[in-house]
Amino acid sequence: MKLSPVSRKQHLSVPLAFMSLLSCATAAFAMHPLITDDAGTMGTGKSQLELTGEYGHDKEDGITTKTRQGAACLTYGLGESVDLVAGIPYLHVRTSDDTGNNTENGFSDTSLAVKWRFYEHDGLSLAIKPGLTLPTGDDEKELGSGKATYSLFFITSKEMDPWGFHLNLGYIRNENSLDEEKNIWHASIASTFALTENLKAVANLGVESDPDKLGSTDPAFLLGGLIYSLSENVDLDCGIKYGLSNSETDRTVLAGITWKF
């Protein structure tokens, strides 16, 4: 079947929105609004709920794609150095050009991960994070991969008050029914700086393999944001992510709330 300009763009944009969740591993499970995760864990019996939202706007070759994404992520401390993380996203993608528009929306694939911090000394922490996604999204609408995927991430964090630095290197086995690349590599770095006792500035830079087999450049991004602690257990955050390559969404606005209990 030959795709129209709008449906062809949607074929590329919906999986790319979905790929941001495969890094769960990345966006949904990191310290929002950062894409890069840190090596910290919750502690035995402690939990954290993150409710996040994103709005992405992309325009290329006269075709405009608007992506809205909401996600709920729950983290539970199985031990002092082991976390179980589960998340489910909801996607709404609208693609339009001068011939018309097309909209798809619905829940995407459910993500599960375990983070194990295996080393910690003098502010340096190392962790690994295996994860998988379950094909709960509608792959016919390209809201999910259609198959279970899995990933493995290596995480390094260094805390030097008031600074924090984080590095993620990862691999995603992108099993799918969308004719996308199956081997996805991820690399990203992030930093945080405590402006006050309750306010942090954050920055993030990263790149990931393009899941589009016809793509010529890998998606790369630059992100800046703020995290404000309303209390010891509640954080508010916001950020803006800019695409550094044509295959990345031009700009994305992010916001979220985190509750620890």
pLDDT at 142: 79
Average pLDDT, integer, range 222-242: 97
pLDDT at 62: 83
Q: Where are the domains of the chain?
A: 5-260
Q: pLDDT tens across 30-60, in order? A: 789 999 999 999 999 999 999 999 999 998 8
Above 80 in pLDDT, residue 26? no
Average pLDDT of the chain? 89
CA–CA separation, 253 vs 233, rounded Å? Answer: 24
Q: Reply yes or no: is the peptide bond before residue 162 cis, omega within 30 of 0.
A: yes
Q: pLDDT tens across 86-140, in order? A: 999 999 999 888 888 888 999 999 999 999 999 999 999 999 999 999 999 888 8
User: Pick the residue with more confidence: 202 or 30?
Assistant: 202
Written as one letter, the residue type at 250 is D
CA–CA separation, 118 vs 122, rounded Å? Answer: 14
Above 60 in pLDDT, residue 244? yes
pLDDT at 109: 93
Average pLDDT, integer, range 177-190: 94
Question: By C-alpha distance, which of 116, 117, 154, 147 is closest to 132?
Answer: 147
Percent of the chain residues past pLDDT 90, beyond the cut: 73
Are residues 211 and 183 in contact, defined by beta-carbon separation less than 8 angstroms?
A: no
Above 50 in pLDDT, residue 153? yes
Burial of 61 (0-12, 13-18, 19+ CB in 10 A): exposed
Confidence grade of residue 214 (pLDDT, cut at 50, 70, 90)? confident
pLDDT at 29: 62
CA–CA separation, 246 vs 196, rounded Å? Answer: 36
Average pLDDT, integer, range 169-193: 95
Q: Which CATH architecture has domain 5-260?
A: Beta Barrel (2.40)
